[in-house]
Amino acid sequence: MIAPVAGFSKLSKNEKIAWLANTYFHDSEAVIAMLKNYWNSDEKLQKLHDEFIENTITNFYLPLGIAPNFLINDTMHAIPMTIEESSVVAAASKAAKFWLDRGGFKATVLSTEKVGQVHFMYYGAIEKLEAYFNSIKPELFIATKHITQNMEKRGGGISAIELRDKTDELNGYFQLHCTFETVDSMGANFINSCLEQFAKTFEAGAATFEAFSEEEREIQIVMSILSNYVPNCIVKAEVSCPIEELVESESVDANEFAEKFLRAIQIAKIEPYRAVTHNKGIMNGIDAVVLATGNDFRAIEAGIHAYAAKDGRYTSLTDAEVVDGIFKFWIEIPLSLGTVGGLTSLHPLVKLALEMLGKPNAKELMQIVAVAGLAQNFAAVRSLVTTGIQKGHMKMHLINILNQLEATEAEKAHFVNYFKDKTVTHSAVVTAFTAYKSQHA
């Protein structure tokens, strides 16, 4: 059994790596060499990366790709995408090119409200708690003035504070449900700082509220934390064109294609098993841009999937319709993003990605990210109802399989050409590669 390690965080990076390699690996020298191979030769840049998180031992690389030709609200964009999955960038680029010739994407931010809550327990008379909340509410705004003053100068701040009774779900459970505008920052630190101050002021004030009994004065603060569910921070992206422009070949019937496309969306609306995979494809595009721009893709994922189930059933995030011969495809999603603070001002590639996008504000970034998700979904559904998803995906995955087989550059070129008119599967590539190697041994 491996013994626990004491004081690990106090070890140097080299000491941490040595402990890891010697404790968990047989070839410790090879492990140490591999980890150090991913260090940046620029010591200053490496130190910056080391300090993003705790106990850093090396860098973990993901590809940064570009999807060009996105026309969004009549402005051209090349969208940065950080993702490890093959065919995602290609699919987004293909969808962008398709809609470029049909007016591009339109996007609108519908609302930007963010949420935080102070969760607390109270077991006294509800009317007394309501009276106390109404009396202390102005003090909550005053007590956070030192936190909110800079945000207010930028046009943000605290929007509202409500008392919510949740005792029908949990005995004694109440909330201070608070809403915020955080302008161009994601706002997590700002919101959490405000909430913690609310909790202190609210708890302290209860001790001197005359209407409370001794027991009622003991309000128990459970926690103060922002919510990643932001159903009132919504962006809409859409595309549309005459139905006859939906296809690029006369061999495909536009009406038949549109009908199949709409059926695919309807199935994702009613069938959760399909909806999850449908929405995962949307998140391929969204997460890739969120990650490239230094935002929190875990928070985005949690909030969007909760939104997909807001009506009590998990369903598709996209919609489609044909009205009077016009095909329309759109998405409405919650996105809490920032373009200032956090990694946006620290990570060199994040700064590069944001500059590439024209240094967008938070609303503009919301629009770009929503468009990336819509484009990804359009490409996926179009493939599903025509050629199938695997044909294009496995063509892109071919190089990954060849890399696993340690193919040379000449061998890669040979098999890319060999599989141009053949179905790519892992077993087919392995079989062909093995035969080729035996013939050229």
| Contact yes or no for 407/415 (Cβ under 8 A) | yes
8-state DSSP, 277: H
Separation between Cα atoms, residue 338 and residue 297, nearest integer Å: 12
User: Cα separations (Å) of 383 from 68, 82, 96, 376?
Assistant: 20, 22, 15, 11
Separation between Cα atoms, residue 421 and residue 250, nearest integer Å: 22
Q: Strands (DSSP E) along 123-172, which ranges?
A: 157-165
Q: Is 85 a catalytic residue?
A: yes
The continuous run of DSSP H or E covering 180 comes out as strand 173-181
| Contact yes or no for 195/116 (Cβ under 8 A) | yes
Own/partner long-range contacts of 131-137 (Cβ < 8 Å, ≥24 apart): 131/211, 132/205, 132/206, 132/209, 132/211, 132/212, 133/163, 133/176, 135/209, 136/201, 136/202, 136/205, 136/206, 136/209, 137/161
| Contact yes or no for 144/191 (Cβ under 8 A) | no
Q: Token pair of 57, please?
A: 């031992």
Separation between Cα atoms, residue 299 and residue 229, nearest integer Å: 8
Q: Is 393 a catalytic residue?
A: yes
> Which of 106, 280, 351, 414 does the annotation list as catalytic?
280
Q: Is 146 a catalytic residue?
A: no
> Which of 94, 393, 395, 397 does the annotation list as catalytic?
393
Is residue 317 helix, strand or coil?
Answer: coil
> Which of 85, 181, 203, 218 does the annotation list as catalytic?
85
In a 10 Å sphere around its CB, with 0-12 CB exposed, 13-18 middle and 19+ buried, how is residue 218 labelled?
middle
Q: Is 440 a catalytic residue?
A: no
Q: Which of 91, 65, 439, 382 is nearest to 247 (CA)?
A: 382
> Which of 296, 347, 364, 397 does the annotation list as catalytic?
296
Write out the DSSP string of 419-430.
TTTS---HHHHH
- Name the residues annotated as catalytic: 85, 280, 296, 393
